[in-house]
Structure 1
Amino acid sequence: MKKLLSLLLLCTVVVTTLILKEQKKEQIVLKFAYGSNSPVVKDAMAKMGKLLEEKTNGEVVVEYYPDSQLGGERELIELVQSGAIDFTKVAGAALESFSKVYSIFGLPYLFDNETHFHKVMQSEDIMRPIYTSTEEVGFRGLTYYDSGQRSFYMKNKQIKSPEDLKGMKIRVMQSETAIRMIQLMGGSPTPMPNGETYTALQQGIIDGAESNEFAITEARHGEVARYYSYDEHTRVPDIVIFGNKVLEKLNDSQIEALYEAAYESTEFQKEKWGESVAQAREQSIKDFGMIYSDVTSKDAFKKLVQPLHEEFKINESISEIYNSIVNMK
């Protein structure tokens, strides 16, 4: 009797082990790496992975590599291209060197307001050709997250008018459009990875930078900069991209689940964004004594960058998208 029970127990263990091994073998693990981000964007990316796992009954899981563990935005894009990782999230301007059409998001004063921005980003007619424009180089866009407005923040002075930018060295993203924008406004653009901005401000290599309020808190630039001026020159979306090889790993239902999870994570992030920005601003005032102010006139800045708009209007590869966005106002 004891031998029979032992045999039954052994069989149960063997069968259970085989089932677990088979389940583990069938589970698809996708790698998602990203750089420094606001808490609400991190939450949205985590939400996407959780939803994908739920929608595929655990068949597909997402493994995260946060806070630039695997490199900066440029390196992460290249890792997606090679298939070393499956997803990353980068600023739309970082994709400009991979597809010129992404330069549209670096165009200053393209969007009238937040409502106009979301209307454009949710338009399939506008976004589908943008997301698929990088297919030939190994990846495509999946969804977007709101990254708010970008304004100037400085180490030693407020920016009230374009005259205040003259001679000022301003850190910008590694984007031709961003460089041209600062030049037209009268400043001296200094492109560099975001991870180098803190030290550059601290050492006086640059006088200021431009980003949203989370640069002050999450990147702790409030320790080395004091004045934040709302000229709100751009609204550059964060873009989640994934490698072409991901589609080879997933079946049709799993691909559908991926797109659903991505869309729902964007809706989640949109709902939380405004409150999160307000909290970051309050925290920066409390922790760093950050001084926020409005510029005297946004129109003065808008006027200076009109040559960029004229260039986009006549650019054959971008003019159609530019006109669609403007007409959606």
Structure 2
Amino acid sequence: MKYYTLLCVVFALFITSCKEESGTKTLYLAHTLPQTHPVHKGILKFQESLDKKSNGTLKIKIFPDGQLGSEREVLELLQIGSVAITKVSAATMSNFVPEYHVLGIPYLFRDKEHQFDVLEGPIGKSILEKGSKFYLRGLCYYDAGSRSFYTSNKAIRTPDDLKGLKIRVMNNQMAINMVNAMGGSATPMAYGELYTAIQQGVVDGAENNPPSFVSSNHFEVSKYYTLDQHSAVPDVLLISTKYWEKLTDQEKIWVQEAAEESSEAEKKYWNDSVEESMKIATEAGVEIIIPEKSLFAEKSKSVLEEFEKENPDLSSLIEQIKKN
């Protein structure tokens, strides 16, 4: 009932926003992240750039902090045209477009430069466009960092150190397969329960990027952080095709250019956030471990092999990314 009421309110707001006043159009943008997050700062850059390019004729009204619902709920609002734009994880988009699954394969990208060469080139742009048939057109990618292991009482220096450890993962089959392949015991669990679970020894650790490790306060109950950087799933900025089709050709150019400019800015904000987070963790007494990543990559090869076996039609895409 609560969601239905919210939907009605948002739809009413959307109808109002479609009215052009003095030649101005307003696009509603909703996301689930706090306003201190580097992705939100990137979205502010998007808002600023679009206002400047359009001379104030295209405005962005931002609803952060999950004000309009979860990622899934906001995606539904985009699909019916009640909200114009949102940011979600590429993992969430894989429920609509199988190609997004590929971006979560462990050690698919050689490094950050390779990742964004792929994402910002023909391969990445092709994936962004594939969501259009579900009314979810991708505009650009945002950096969401690399996920690494952190543990409470035992340091992970090689994959062998994962043996016997319960590691919390998202309820995602690839993440589960990866941890199990490396020798750990993958334990899906709600993110909100994780702090207490580590503190009480229900799980031995988890995996995430540095800003999340710190903002969740997990560094308070985890003594070791191993930067194995096993996966780098980006975020995606999406626009509802129902709103995209209402824009003129010139307005579409402005929106796309502003999105790409915000992507560049967000990468810098993300790097700053990583540096700050690592400093906080180190000062709190967390041991930062730089392991031999090739050992972890070797252990996770079976994840790729299993994925290709189950998704033979995506093998060509994987090869293209490797050769890029």
TM-score under structure 1 length normalisation: 0.84
* 1:312 CA displacement: 4.5
* Cα distance between partner residues in 2 of 1:232 and 1:184: 16
- In structure 2, the CA distance between the partners of 1:251 and 1:271, relative to structure 1 (3 Å rule), is same
* 1:193 CA displacement: 4.9
Residue 62 (str. 1) matches residue 57 (str. 2): no
Larger radius of gyration: 1
One-letter amino acid of the structure 2 residue matched with residue 263 of structure 1: E
**2:176 is matched with which residue: 174, 179, 195?**
179
One-letter amino acid of the structure 2 residue matched with residue 122 of structure 1: E
- In structure 2, the CA distance between the partners of 1:242 and 1:104, relative to structure 1 (3 Å rule), is same
Aligned residue in 2 for 1:274: 271
Matches within 5 A, 1:65-214: 65-123=63-121, 125-214=122-211
Aligned residue in 2 for 1:324: 320
- In structure 2, the CA distance between the partners of 1:23 and 1:246, relative to structure 1 (3 Å rule), is closer
Large movers: runs of 4+ above 6 Å? none
* 1:133 CA displacement: 2.1
Aligned residue in 2 for 1:234: 231
Structure 1 alignment gaps of length 5 or more: 1-21
Q: Which SS does the other structure have where 1:153 is aligned?
A: strand
* Cα distance between partner residues in 1 of 2:106 and 2:61: 36
* 1:213 CA displacement: 0.5
Aligned residue in 1 for 2:6: none
Contact 1:101–1:317, Cα closer than 8 Å, also in 2: no
Residue 293 (str. 1) matches residue 292 (str. 2): no
Residue 221 (str. 1) matches residue 235 (str. 2): no
* 1:194 CA displacement: 3.8
* Cα distance between partner residues in 2 of 1:205 and 1:95: 30
**2:51 is matched with which residue: 50, 53, 63?**
53
Deviations 1:178-212 (A, max 9, x none): 22212211222233454443344345443222111
Query: Would you say how many aligned residue pairs link Structure 1 and Structure 2?
Result: 304
* 1:29 CA displacement: 1.9
- Percent identity of paired positions between Structure 1 and Structure 2: 38
One-letter amino acid of the structure 2 residue matched with residue 175 of structure 1: N
* Cα distance between partner residues in 2 of 1:84 and 1:193: 29
- In structure 2, the CA distance between the partners of 1:25 and 1:203, relative to structure 1 (3 Å rule), is farther
309-318 or 158-167, which moves further after superposition?
309-318
- In structure 2, the CA distance between the partners of 1:193 and 1:95, relative to structure 1 (3 Å rule), is farther
One-letter amino acid of the structure 1 residue matched with residue 99 of structure 2: V
Deviations 1:36-66 (A, max 9, x none): 3663322111100111122112222111122
- In structure 2, the CA distance between the partners of 1:306 and 1:129, relative to structure 1 (3 Å rule), is same
- In structure 2, the CA distance between the partners of 1:88 and 1:172, relative to structure 1 (3 Å rule), is farther
* Cα distance between partner residues in 2 of 1:201 and 1:249: 49
Deviations 1:270-310 (A, max 9, x none): 33433332122112223x33221123x32222122112222
Structure 2 alignment gaps of length 5 or more: 1-18
- In structure 2, the CA distance between the partners of 1:226 and 1:39, relative to structure 1 (3 Å rule), is same
Q: Which SS does the other structure have where 2:83 is aligned?
A: coil
Contact 1:172–1:189, Cα closer than 8 Å, also in 2: yes
* Cα distance between partner residues in 2 of 1:186 and 1:77: 36
* 1:322 CA displacement: 0.6
* 1:134 CA displacement: 2.1
Aligned residue in 1 for 2:3: none
Deviations 1:11-39 (A, max 9, x none): xxxxxxxxxxx973643222222223663
* 1:224 CA displacement: 3.0
- In structure 2, the CA distance between the partners of 1:131 and 1:313, relative to structure 1 (3 Å rule), is same
- In structure 2, the CA distance between the partners of 1:110 and 1:39, relative to structure 1 (3 Å rule), is same
Residue 262 (str. 1) matches residue 259 (str. 2): yes
- In structure 2, the CA distance between the partners of 1:196 and 1:49, relative to structure 1 (3 Å rule), is farther
